[in-house]
Amino acid sequence: MDDQILAIYGLCTDFLTARHHAEDRKQKMTDAEVMTTALVAMVFCGGNFEHARARLGTRQYMPTMLSRGRFNRRLPLIRDGVFCPKRRKGIFQVLP
């Protein structure tokens, strides 16, 4: 399972690099790590983010794991910024 988690992280990092994704320097956890946590939750934990956060929030994987609330706020921002970049122009902007 360790190899699969590392492969997921590598794919997320490569995907974000290929999309020329820019990250904020003040973030404690990279967007690739947040994506990896979400994918590990789906693949290994039956969709339970809390189990994935507990499993990956160790020194071996991601020692700077976000809190539950911060993780739940970051995940939609990554989705909107990576997969729908036009939606990031304004937080409350409604697209036609």
The ranges of the chain with pLDDT < 50 are 88-96
pLDDT score of 96: 45
Q: Which of 83, 76, 73, 71 is nearest to 34 (CA)?
A: 71
* Distance in angstroms (rounded) separating the CA atoms of residues 51 and 43: 12
* The pLDDT of residue 93: 47
The distance from CA 23 to its chain's CA centroid, rounded to whole angstroms, is: 12
Nearest to 45 by CA among 30, 29, 56: 56
- Check residue 50 and give its pLDDT: 93
pLDDT the model gives residue 91: 47
C-beta separation of 35 from 23 below 8 A: no
Residue 73 DSSP SS3: helix
Q: Quick one: pLDDT at residue 92?
A: 45
Q: What is the pLDDT of residue 65?
A: 92
Residue type, 37: T
Q: Domain limits of the chain?
A: 2-88
